[in-house]
Structure 1
Amino acid sequence: MSDILIRAREPADMADITELLNQPRAIWGTLQLPFVSVDARQRRAASSAPGDLHLVAVIDGKAIGAASLNRFENRRAHAGSIGMAVHDAYAGRGAGSALMAAIVGQADNWLNLARLELNVWSDNTRAIALYERFGFEREGVFRNYAWRDGAYADSVAMARLR
């Protein structure tokens, strides 16, 4: 994991992030649609809420993983939602763990968030194991949560309370 740098996402990262999210396995693990252009991703990034955290995992100058922490407002100001993905060619090299450590560290040590939550496909056992290592617990299953790759897929709601 020593060759992985975690840093804030920059506008120049959008080409790498687009490539990452257009990978078959990476897109399979998200709610994103495949074949999204760099321009569309740049527009979406520009519309992010000011309090959101966007990080990238970088190896040899290339953004190979991305994670976000979206903070809620008002009566849910104590909570945030996490999303992440890693480039298919770099899966299993520790980028997901490094991104999760950074997100959880920011939430705990700088934002004082008491609840972190996420949704993960019920058949994404590798991601579920990662989240469980960081203290996330299963809270329920959303049956037929979304259409993915030609069929409805279930999603597991997970959360980490501090």
Structure 2
Amino acid sequence: MIIRITEKQDLAVLYSIYTSPTVVASSKYLPTVSFEMFYGTIDLHSEYQVHLTHCDDKDVPNGHLGIFLNSMPRTKHTATFVIAVDESARKQGIGHRLVQVLTDQSDNWLNILRLEVDVPADAEDIVKLLEDSGFVVEGQKQTALFRNGEYVDMLMLARVINRD
């Protein structure tokens, strides 16, 4: 298994991962997002986005990490991110490896002090994965996400590095 830079030919497989029911349920994406719209959110040439793909032994993508850097001068030290793992590849440590790469890139290469993400409050596995990697719940947004006909609370998680 390898984690490498995302390439254009990966996008069709990543689209199928991001539109799978479990990923849609834990994200802000609509289940009916078009490939063109999905493709438009991933800019492989942007200096403000870093995209890495986890592949199996046959170089088939089964996970993705997108880091979104902030271009505003006063918040350049912050970033958000997305992580998705193919349903058939869950419980194999891929999410953990992608979070490790996220923190390594942020701490050692991107000069990011604060990583932040919103997660559905009922996504216990995701919250645990992030908490195990140093993220803390900073708050809860009530009825922040409309999912499958219901309003869902979102947890605001962040990982802050103190560089005194």
Scaled by the length of structure 2, what TM-score is found?
0.90
Q: Deviations over 1:78-113 (max 9, x none)?
A: 111121111111111111111111111000001121
Is 1:79 aligned to 2:74, yes or no?
Answer: no
Q: Secondary structure at the match of 2:127?
A: helix
Is 1:154 aligned to 2:153, yes or no?
Answer: yes
- Partner of 2:32 in structure 1? 35
For these two proteins, the number of residue pairs brought into alignment is 159
Matched to 1:134, the amino acid is S
> Which of 66, 69, 77 is 1:68 aligned to?
66
Q: Deviations over 1:4-58 (max 9, x none)?
A: 3111111111110111112111111111111333333223324874221111111
Q: Secondary structure at the match of 2:28?
A: coil
Kindly indicate whether the alpha-carbon contact (under 8 Å) linking 2:119 and 2:127 is maintained by their aligned counterparts in 1: yes
- Partner of 1:26 in structure 2? 23
- The 5 A counterparts of 1:35-54 are 35-46=32-43, 49-54=46-51
* Inter-partner Cα distance in structure 2 for 1:101 and 1:47: 21
* Inter-partner Cα distance in structure 1 for 2:111 and 2:140: 27
Q: Deviations over 1:108-153 (max 9, x none)?
A: 0011211111111100000000001110001000000110111111
- Partner of 1:105 in structure 2? 104
Percent identical pairs in the alignment equals: 27
- Partner of 1:88 in structure 2? 87
Uncovered stretches (5+) of structure 1, i.e. residues with no partner: none
* Inter-partner Cα distance in structure 1 for 2:75 and 2:37: 29
- Partner of 1:128 in structure 2? 127
Structure 1 ranges of 4+ moved more than 6 A: none
Q: Secondary structure at the match of 1:20?
A: helix
Structure 1 pair 64–35 and aligned structure 2 pair: CA distance change class (3 A): farther
Structure 1 pair 8–47 and aligned structure 2 pair: CA distance change class (3 A): closer
Uncovered stretches (5+) of structure 2, i.e. residues with no partner: none
